[in-house]
Amino acid sequence: MSRRLLIAACAGIGVLISSASLGAPVMGGAGLLGVGEPNPLVQEARVFCYNRRTGRFLHWGYCQRRVARPRVFCYSRRTGRFLHWGSCRR
């Protein structure tokens, strides 16, 4: 069963490679003269940031990613009472 699968995969790759060569231009490099020029139909894209919940536009440019850091708090080990935000000094 695996040998048949391998032969079918090789045959499929061979068909894909040969079909790509059929799409090459007949005149060789003559069809590639304008490749380096920019396409006049393509406009410059601008990136903008928006609120994902409401879809409202916020500003032009990338949204700043917020790094989610776990908050550390200090508590009294004797009573278990919250003291302040931030790590306790030893």
User: Domains of the chain: which residue ranges?
Assistant: 44-90
Q: Rounded distance, CA 61 to CA 56, Å?
A: 14
Q: In this structure, are residues 89 and 81 in contact, taking their beta carbons and an 8 Å threshold?
A: no
pLDDT digits (tens, 9 = 90+) for 17-70: 765 555 655 555 555 666 677 777 777 788 889 888 899 999 998 888 766 677
pLDDT score recorded for residue 81: 92
Q: Rounded distance, CA 30 to CA 6, Å?
A: 39
Backbone angles phi, psi at 59, to 5 degrees: -165, 165
pLDDT score recorded for residue 37: 78
Place of tokens 């928006």: 50
Q: Rounded distance, CA 86 to CA 88, Å?
A: 7
pLDDT score recorded for residue 14: 72
pLDDT score recorded for residue 79: 92
Q: Which has more confidence, 72 or 35?
A: 72
pLDDT score recorded for residue 38: 77
